[in-house]
Chains A and B, each alone.
Chain A
């Protein structure tokens, strides 16, 4: 369970929140001029980052406010929480690289 620090309410359980997908996906300035492919890319194509990833979250069971979060998709480390509309802060320290691959649970059996 992630413990997410809502900017309004403080640290709460992850189950109180809803995930809102990648942050900072700007609405196209002239949607009518886009080709079908460009429109589809705006609608459905998202980054699949390994490492720091900016995403939107909603504190649905608490203050019902949206906010942005910079989270490491590998370690789940929450690097920054910042309000909607603000630019993405500089990426924090990169995820520690795992040198020796961890063997999956039960693989030795």
Chain B
């Protein structure tokens, strides 16, 4: 049973917290070029690391929330605003809105821990591990291609695909959420570096094209 007093207190604490790239929000706004390429941070998304055999009973229980766990590299299973990303053959990342976290009255990752039960595997709250940078616009792919060796052509890298790779020389997860929208999950300590790196890569699109 949720302890309301504890929850109220926890919500109060939440208002004081700072996201890893919060110091760059003004720079993100200044560096975004409306209609061309835009960058923002989506702070405090709820994330949970799941390690479980996806074919076992526990894997099935843990996958219920997202319509099963993804089975191959790049695959994302989602239902509503919750998605499960494939990180390895038995490793997954569940991404959900900030409000889904139990500290804000949600039920994650408690329900996952309950779903795992005594079975082999683990569920870890990784909400503070990574932050989310959202890069969008028709030029977003050009910006990413400056520092990501993956084939990002829409024919190969389709919307609804997430890959763990290197961007700008640092490890990050790249999730294409829509045709021109990418979510990048760098670890918190890399957030400022990657934010500045992306801003630098976006700079050329702010000036008029030289014919």
Contacts and interface: CB of A to CB of B under 8 A. Distances in A.
B180 to A, nearest CB: 24
Interface in A48-70: 61-65
Given A13-B149, A63-B73, A8 B166 contact: no
A16 B148 CA distance: 11
A101 interface: no
A64 B165 contact: no
A10 interface: yes
A12 B74 CA distance: 13
Contacts of A12: 149-150, 165
A1 to B, nearest CB: 8
Contacts, number: 35
A102 interface: no
A98 interface: no
Contact of A15 (B88, B150, B166): B166
B145 interface: no
A86 to B, nearest CB: 16
A9 interface: yes
B73 A10 contact: yes
Interface string B144-166: 00000110000000000001111
Interface string B12-46: 00000000000000000000000000000000000
A61 B73 contact: no
A62 B165 contact: yes
Nearest to A14: B149
B171 interface: yes
Contacts of B166: 13, 15-16, 61
A61 B163 contact: no
B67 interface: no
A13 B163 CA distance: 13
9 contacts: A8-B89, A9-B74, A15-B166, A16-B165, A61-B165, A63-B91, A63-B164, A64-B91, A65-B89
Interface of A: 8-10, 12-13, 15-16, 61-65
The 9 closest A-B pairs by CB, nearest first: A63-B88, A9-B73, A61-B171, A13-B149, A62-B164, A64-B88, A8-B73, A61-B166, A16-B166
